[in-house]
A = this chain, B = another copy of it.
Amino acid sequence: MKAPRFRKEAAVFFFFFCLLAVCQTFPTPADRDTLMILEQFQFTGGNLLTTEKELQVNYILKKIKGKEIMEGMKTGKFAPAMHFFRAKELIEQSPVFNIIQMMPKGAGLHLHEYALLSVDWLVKNATYLPNCYICFTPVGGVRFHYFHRMQQRKMVNCSEWVLLEQYRRQIQNVTEFDNSLMRNLTLITENPEEAYQSQNIIWQRFSDAFAAASSLISYAPVFKTYFYEALKEFYHDNVQYIEIRALLLPVYELDGTLQNKTWSIMAYHEVARQFKDDHPDFMGTKVIFSVHRKSNNTEMKTAIYEAMELYNKFPETMAGFDMVGHEDAGHPLWYFRNELSIPAKLGVKLPYFFHAGETDWEGVHVDENILDALLLNTSRIGHGYSINKHLVAKQLSQKLDVALEVCPISNQVLMLVSNLQNHPAAALMAEGHPMVISADDPAVFGARGLSYDFYEAFMGIGGLKAELTTLRQLALNSINYSAMSAQMKVEAIKLWQKKWDQFLDAVVHMFNSDEL
């Protein structure tokens, strides 16, 4: 499952052997082949053994992929080099995407609770429930709330609440209105470069879309159905397990009753169990309790104590703790070093899954998060986009086997990088650095499940060097680096392997390799 221990040493041995050969004589084609094999060997998945069937599928995949990349190189129209909003249609036409959709992808380890499920479900279902009110904010956003009685409306701060049912009856074009709601819940726009002129601007819009979604999802009946439907969407995208970052904000009942964090954790647990009952080939879900990185030290201290308590009470569902929000604009991790060291000081276990390095700004305060996350003993790194600029952090992450959660589409849409061929994970993949692929907020970006991000990673970040074994390694990584228990991992791998074998058969069946 994991890269065998001898890998690095073998590589180094090979390397000096080759170096010696190169320096002594003019290189022969055989020298060159050796070096190229060595390079491929160190690539993510490059050292995995393959079955006969895998070789067959790899042959098919390489043919199709090569054709698509060469076409992109010739025409200049290549999805990973384009903004996802423009590339999406192109991706959907790709046979490589089709294969990736079919493939069992293992686990989605970096996802946020309010952006799991395509927004049309929210608009077409949640906003059509009785008692759903809307309020238009001065900056062009929307908020929703379900009220049972008129007087409740004063309790929730917004300029004017209108009953949606009534509002829809008054307007001429309900379809257009519903589409506008969907736009409010995503970042999708025709000309993103013009609409979002800076990272600060897009993060404002991003937070607003989040707030709009959360105002619907925080209604107890929506909350549970939303999560069930989200699991279904991932399940249909051939994902076997997810871990979600959740703020655990109060969920409310129609009568105004507010539920606490325990209620939310239990609701997640219950829905996941129900889903697993209905779909036995799904592995389940875990929650990473997260607070905003703009919190102050007192709030952080409270959150850490709550997190320890929840982790103790719900070990099956609670995976650990993290901080969320625009990294550049928030406090650096080191600002909370005292609060974050409380569990260690008390000898209490609380795994961390810190976002870190989601920035282009090398050397500023928040840019040290990448090192600090490791110093604070993080189990994985959310994004780690800037890690290549931090040699010590990169070495620590490799040696301590702390995987990065790479979210290509998120990094592109949130303006860290435009052409995904330039994503820093390309260098990390070349080194076989521990990583998993995830989708961050698929709903807000107009994606669905993990397939779009896997496509971008496989085609754009990996380039022609990424083969079937890269996909296999990424899927296996996602289980290996998850917060599942050891026993659960064994089960998950077993389940995944079965699905993988079926997937291989399906690809061979679909593509006649003679025709390629």
Give the B-binding residues of A (Cβ under 8 A).
15, 18-19, 22-23, 26-27, 29, 31-32, 35-36, 38-39, 42, 69-70, 73-77, 81, 193, 197-201, 328, 334, 337, 341, 344-345, 360-364, 367-368, 371-372, 374-377, 388-393, 395-396, 399-400, 416-419, 421-422, 424, 426-427, 430-431, 462-466
Contact = CB atoms under 8 A, between A and B. Distances in A.
Given A201-B76, A389-B427, A463 B362 contact: yes
Contacts of A363: 69, 463-466
B73 A328 contact: yes
A304 to B, nearest CB: 14
Query: Counting chain B CB atoms within 10 Å of each CB, which of A199, A393, A395, A431 scores highest?
Result: A395
A345 to B, nearest CB: 7
The 7 closest A-B pairs by CB, nearest first: A76-B198, A362-B463, A363-B464, A388-B427, A363-B465, A27-B375, A360-B421
Nearest to A198: B76
A417 to B, nearest CB: 5
Given A26-B344, A201-B76, A431-B391, A364 B32 contact: no
A67 B361 CA distance: 13
Nearest to A12: B395
Given A361-B463, A388-B388, A389-B426, 11 more contacts: A18-B392, A22-B396, A26-B344, A32-B371, A73-B328, A73-B361, A362-B465, A364-B463, A367-B464, A388-B430, A390-B430
Contacts of A395: 15
B200 A76 contact: yes
Contacts of A31: 375
Contact of A360 (B19, B74, B199, B422): B422
A81 B361 CA distance: 10
A368 B15 contact: no
B371 A75 contact: no
A222 to B, nearest CB: 35
Contacts of A29: 337
Contacts of A421: 360-362
Contact of A392 (B35, B70, B198): B35
Contact of A424 (B197, B337, B418, B427): B427
A34 to B, nearest CB: 9
Nearest to A427: B388
B391 A199 contact: no
A39 B393 contact: yes
A15 B29 CA distance: 37
B36 A345 contact: no
Given A75-B198, A197-B76, A375-B35, A426 B390 contact: no
Nearest to A77: B198
A360 B27 CA distance: 26
A18 to B, nearest CB: 7
A26 B341 contact: yes
Contacts of A74: 200
Query: Counting chain B CB atoms within 10 Å of each CB, which of A18, A198, A328, A344 scores highest?
Result: A198
A343 B182 CA distance: 66
11 contacts: A32-B371, A32-B372, A76-B198, A360-B419, A361-B421, A362-B421, A362-B464, A362-B465, A364-B463, A388-B427, A390-B430
Contact of A345 (B26, B371, B430): B26
Nearest to A201: B76
